[in-house]
Amino acid sequence: MFRAMIRKVPGAYRIARILGLVPRRADSRSFLLDMLPPKSVGVEIGVHKGDFSKSMLDVVRPKELHLIDPWKHEASTTYKDAWYGGQANGQAEMDERYRHVCARFEREIRRGQVTVHRACSAAALGGFPDEYFDWVYIDGNHLYEYVKADLELALAKTRPGGFIAGDDYTDGGWWQGGVKKAVDEFAAAQAVQLVAIRNDQFVFRKGPVA
Ligand SMILES: C[S@@+](CC[C@H](N)C(=O)[O-])C[C@H]1O[C@@H](n2cnc3c(N)ncnc32)[C@H](O)[C@@H]1O
């Protein structure tokens, strides 16, 4: 509630984090990483600079981690407050972020643990066989239609008993609550078990759970 309120005031969320009034991102998501099984096959949709990917590798120690992001700059006003829109210095910065992620995980890429897919989620995730993943983490385009599509695709690509989770389950934001709306509809319509909504994260298990 407090988090949703301060998100509406520009700059307030960052100040609240510095003052310790809301948990740091890494801490706020650690409960989720603790749920994911070691030696699993997982995917992160929306990678940015790879900070959460690094936590996934360190905590979960997956057998395979697929990182999906087009690193494409969005110039339209819809995205003026997005990290990959008005908050980035054009396509050059997106290209730099992609290079940074490839360099950051060079060792893991070389040994076949990490694969970077520079593509949008529909194309990249859609190319995997059904039920391929033990877990899918959704943090890509936060607009309603994209989250809805990511959730539906994630359901097909996750094995029964696997996890479908994601970030920014909040009201407001530049995405105008699109994540929350899509997630609430998904919870009502699909054969999934809601495991947690906590620290802006949502976590489902695909049924039937073993
Ligand atoms: C919020 S950031 C991801 C943050 C990252 N998960 C983390 O926690 O460090 C959102 C990312 O989604 C990416 N993105 C935008 N549209 C996408 C799409 N259609 N498919 C996959 N990723 C997308 C953006 O390029 C951006 O890097």
Domain definitions of the chain by residue range: 23-206
* Range from 26-35, 55-64, 174-183 carrying the lowest mean pLDDT: 26-35
What is the 94 CA–ligand 1 centroid distance (Å)? 11
Give the pair of three-digit tokens for residue 205: 């298990």
What is the 69 CA–ligand 1 centroid distance (Å)? 6
Give residue 14's pLDDT: 56
Quick one: fold of 23-206? Rossmann fold (3.40.50)
What is the 154 CA–ligand 1 centroid distance (Å)? 15
CA distances from 59 to 39, 49, 52, 154 (A): 11, 18, 10, 22
Give pLDDT tens digits for 32-79. Answer: 999 999 999 999 999 999 999 999 999 999 999 999 999 999 999 999
CA distances from 60 to 121, 135, 158, 168 (A): 22, 11, 17, 21
Average pLDDT (154-163) is 98
| Site residues for ligand 1, CB cut-off 6 Å | 44-48, 51-52, 68-71, 83-84, 120-121, 139-141, 146
pTM flag (> 0.75) = yes
Average pLDDT (96-109) is 98
Give residue 39's pLDDT: 97
What is the 210 CA–ligand 1 centroid distance (Å)? 31
| Residue 166: strand, helix, or coil | strand
Ligand 1 atom with least separation from CA of 168 = 1
Give residue 191's pLDDT: 85
Ligand 1 atom with least separation from CA of 51 = 9
Strand partners, 137: 44, 165
Separation between Cα atoms, residue 84 and residue 79, nearest integer Å: 7
